[in-house]
């Protein structure tokens, strides 16, 4: 009994301690094996980029972080944010894929601007559909097409930035950014509401961190997978007017048949500017698990793909998925669990899901694993965990959090989450049975006390 009480007390203390920052950790001295791994990749591949950041798409585990929290220019990767808003408007029923988008003289002029990524748009009120322009944005990286969609939604490009882009970033929890245009062009290309000259300069560039851009991309393709599907098109035929059409090629040269073709890259977008360099966000995979990789600021177009491919190769070669918890695996045996008011008095507690993470090859996470629980366990006087009936196999009785020195999460989740569930359903007994049990326990306790008293005073034999 004493042993179980000590164990119960120790578990409670460990849980409470897990909620209090360790002074050494708070000082930034916590061992960071992910940072070490990231620097190893950078050195091995002789990387020359501003930032790189990758995550496991499902869990959000960070796989590499090279200056991933510093804000850099993102150029046309801005279009992913603008498209997020376009799809939000479609989902809300405010527009459809068949909605016709008017093209103003200013937009038409922008669409044929020298040295700008575009498709020519004629000054029309009812020809180009939302669907056509989305294709031109995600495949052709067309700036005027992006601005046309933004102006239709908000009335003007500045209004789109203030009333839609910035609130969307806030909704996503992103607060460190610079946004000057809807398309990713430099600030001097902003189309003002009254047609006046943009208040911004050529040096004013949209900027996000690689971390924030990766998170935005994950949320975008999860909510609207149509964006990802469209980004996989190598060519799209663009109908400029009733008589003229032409193919528009994708700038993502990882796609099939293009210069840096890779069968394990599935989209999604490039971005290029003089100041920000050449950048890209892709969806790929490691061992059958989807990942998102963002690379910002390569020196030129070729280096964008070469360095991104080198990072991807390193992650695929150096990381292995390890399953750390198995669905149905016993966590707490029934001998240590008491069910209050249940039809049975004990039950096993087990993991609800398989759970794991990527680790460097030959890395042993158990050397630094720490298991915590989101809720404080309740214990009886014997040190047994107490859970209350009714119990449902699908409803967790607690949440586990497994942390170690390598695992980091894009949402700052401090460990691998899983759930503890009962091994079987346990109905609650009726009120009458609860009363009867209570009386039995009280009577049994009184009997034990009386027997002990009589034995102590030698009134009865031991």
**Domain ranges, residue 72:** 34-319
Q: Hey, what are 141's tokens?
A: 């990286």
Let me know: does 350 contact 329? Beta carbons within 8 Å: yes
Phi, psi of 30 (to 5 degrees): -60, 140
Note whether 149 and 290 are same-domain residues. yes
Of 263, 257, 259, 269, which is closest to residue 227 (Cα–Cα)? 269
Q: How far is CA 271 from CA 48, 206, 241, in A?
A: 17, 11, 27
Domain count, the chain: 2
Output the pLDDT for position 25.
37
Q: Cis omega before residue 351 (within 30°)?
A: no
In angstroms, the CA 131 to CA 214 distance is 25
Note whether 232 and 381 are same-domain residues. no
Of 33, 30, 43, 28, which is closest to residue 63 (Cα–Cα)? 33
Residues 6+ away with beta carbon under 8 Å from 419: 351, 352, 353, 396, 398, 399, 400
Q: Could you tell me the end-to-end alpha-carbon distance of the chain, in angstroms, rounded to an integer?
A: 21
Let me know: does 39 contact 420? Beta carbons within 8 Å: no
In angstroms, the CA 41 to CA 31 distance is 18
Is residue 157 a part of any domain in this protein? yes
Enumerate the H helices of 98-204 as residue ranges. 105-111, 130-138, 143-154, 157-160, 166-171
Note whether 185 and 291 are same-domain residues. yes
Can you give the pTM of this predicted structure? 0.86
SS3 label, residue 378: strand
The secondary structure element, H or E, covering residue 318 is helix 301-318
Is residue 352 a part of any domain in this protein? yes
Is residue 431 a part of any domain in this protein? no
Note whether 359 and 215 are same-domain residues. no
DSSP state of 365: G
Let me know: does 271 contact 184? Beta carbons within 8 Å: yes
Phi, psi of 387 (to 5 degrees): -120, 150
Note whether 193 and 112 are same-domain residues. yes
Is residue 342 a part of any domain in this protein? yes
Output the pLDDT for position 19.
37
Q: How far is CA 41 from CA 53, 104, 153, 300, in A?
A: 12, 48, 43, 21
Give the pairing of strands 337-340 and 385-388: parallel
Note whether 300 and 376 are same-domain residues. no
Note whether 135 and 92 are same-domain residues. yes
Other CB atoms closer than 10 Å to residue 262's CB: what's the count?
18
Q: Which of 319, 334, 351 is the last residue of a domain?
A: 319
The sign of the CA dihedral 364, 368, 373, 378 is positive
Is residue 72 a part of any domain in this protein? yes
Note whether 269 and 342 are same-domain residues. no
Is residue 108 a part of any domain in this protein? yes
CATH number at residue 114: 3.40.710.10
Let me know: does 51 contact 254? Beta carbons within 8 Å: no
SS3 label, residue 245: strand
Note whether 81 and 215 are same-domain residues. yes
Of 353, 339, 286, which is closest to residue 317 (Cα–Cα)? 286
Note whether 314 and 330 are same-domain residues. no
CATH number at residue 377: 2.60.410
In angstroms, the CA 454 to CA 444 distance is 15
Query: Edge-to-edge strands of the sheet including 268-273?
Result: 62-66, 51-56, 289-298, 277-286, 268-273
Note whether 281 and 369 are same-domain residues. no
Is residue 435 a part of any domain in this protein? no
In angstroms, the CA 129 to CA 136 distance is 11
Note whether 283 and 340 are same-domain residues. no
Is residue 276 a part of any domain in this protein? yes
> pLDDT per position in the chain (462 positions), as tens?
433 343 343 444 343 334 333 333 333 455 789 999 999 999 999 999 999 999 999 999 999 999 999 999 999 999 999 999 999 999 999 999 999 999 999 999 999 988 889 899 999 999 999 999 999 999 999 999 999 999 999 999 999 999 999 999 999 999 999 999 999 999 999 999 888 999 999 999 999 999 999 999 999 999 999 999 999 999 999 999 999 999 999 999 999 999 999 999 999 999 998 888 999 999 999 999 999 999 999 999 999 999 999 999 999 999 999 999 999 999 999 999 999 988 899 999 999 999 999 999 999 999 999 999 999 999 999 999 999 999 999 999 999 999 999 999 999 998 999 999 999 999 987 655 456 555 565 555 555 555 665 566 665 555
């Amino acid at each position: 009994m004493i042993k179980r009480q000590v164990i119960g007390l120790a578990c409670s203390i460990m849980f409470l301690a897990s909620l209090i920052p360790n002074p050494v950790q708070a000082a930034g001295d916590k061992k960071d094996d992910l940072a070490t791994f990231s620097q190893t990749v950078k050195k091995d591949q002789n990387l020359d980029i501003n930032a790189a950041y990758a995550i496991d798409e499902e869990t959000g585990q960070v796989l590499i972080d090279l200056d991933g929290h510093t804000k850099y220019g993102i150029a046309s990767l801005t279009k992913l944010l603008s498209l997020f808003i376009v799809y939000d408007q479609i989902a809300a029923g405010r527009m459809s894929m068949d909605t016709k988008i008017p093209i103003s003289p200013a937009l038409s002029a922008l669409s044929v601007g020298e040295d700008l990524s575009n498709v020519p748009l004629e000054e029309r009120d009812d020809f180009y559909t939302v669907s056509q322009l989305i294709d031109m944005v995600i495949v052709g990286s067309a700036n005027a097409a992006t601005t046309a969609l933004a102006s239709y939604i908000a009335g003007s490009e500045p209004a789109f930035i203030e009333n839609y882009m910035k609130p969307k970033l806030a909704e996503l929890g992103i607060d460190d950014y610079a946004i000057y245009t809807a398309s990713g062009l430099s600030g001097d290309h902003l189309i003002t509401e009254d047609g006046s000259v943009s208040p911004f300069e050529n040096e004013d560039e949209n900027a996000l961190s690689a971390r924030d851009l990766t998170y935005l991309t994950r949320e975008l393709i999860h909510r609207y997978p149509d964006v990802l599907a469209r980004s996989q098109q190598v060519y799209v035929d663009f109908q400029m007017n009733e008589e003229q059409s032409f193919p528009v090629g994708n700038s993502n040269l990882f796609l099939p048949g293009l210069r840096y073709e890779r069968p394990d890259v599935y989209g999604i977008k490039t971005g290029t500017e003089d100041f920000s360099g050449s950048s890209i966000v892709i969806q790929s995979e490691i061992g059958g698990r989807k990942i998102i990789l963002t690379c910002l600021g390569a020196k030129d177009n070729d280096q964008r793909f070469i360095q991104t491919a080198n990072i991807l190769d390193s992650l695929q070669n150096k990381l292995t998925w390890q399953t750390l918890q198995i669905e149905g695996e016993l966590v707490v045996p029934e001998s240590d669990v008491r069910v209050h008011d249940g039809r049975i008095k004990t039950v096993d507690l087990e993991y609800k899901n398989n759970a794991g993470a990527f680790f460097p090859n030959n890395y042993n996470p158990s050397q630094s694993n720490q298991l915590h629980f989101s809720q404080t366990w309740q214990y009886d006087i014997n040190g047994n965990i107490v859970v209350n009936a009714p119990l449902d196999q699908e409803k967790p009785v607690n949440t586990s959090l497994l942390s170690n020195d390598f695992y980091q999460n894009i949402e700052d989740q401090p460990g691998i989450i899983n759930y503890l569930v009962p091994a079987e359903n346990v109905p609650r007994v009726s009120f009458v049975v609860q009363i009867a049990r209570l009386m039995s326990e009280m009577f049994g306790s009184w009997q034990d006390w009386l027997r002990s008293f009589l034995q102590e005073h030698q009134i009865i034999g031991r």
